[in-house]
Amino acid sequence: AVVKIFTENKRLDNIYFDALVSVLECPICVNLMKPPIWQCLAGHSICHSCRWKIYDCPICHNTFGETRNYSLESLSAVFKFPCVNQPMGCDVVLSLQELKKHEAKCKAKR
């Protein structure tokens, strides 16, 4: 139901949005994870930047292989998120992949 609501351009209920954000939040850097999203042998996910900074999973201490979390990558592509510079006046809302490009050149950047 959440996907249907959001894909019809209706505002996502804050409860569902917060839950989605918590699932896509990297446990190391706390940024939203954008593809590629990596997972440990037990299935815990981290972002691409953090993947190459650590060897063991911060949650279960299993190692990271070359396994990606395609389900989370799909979620990050379907939903849209506000620019990190929203508090400075940017009103752009894009998919995480598109947002990455926008935020690099955002005029409201800190």
pLDDT of residue 59: 95
Q: pLDDT value at position 5?
A: 35
Q: Residue 3 phi/psi, 5° resolution? A: -60, -45
pLDDT of residue 3: 38
Q: Which stretches in the chain have pLDDT values below 50?
A: 1-8
Joined together, the tokens standing for residue 93 give 């809302």
pLDDT of residue 88: 92
pTM higher than 0.75, yes or no? no
Burial class (CB in 10 A: 0-12, 13-18, 19+), 34: buried
Cα gap 13→95, rounded to integer Å: 17
pLDDT at 12: 57
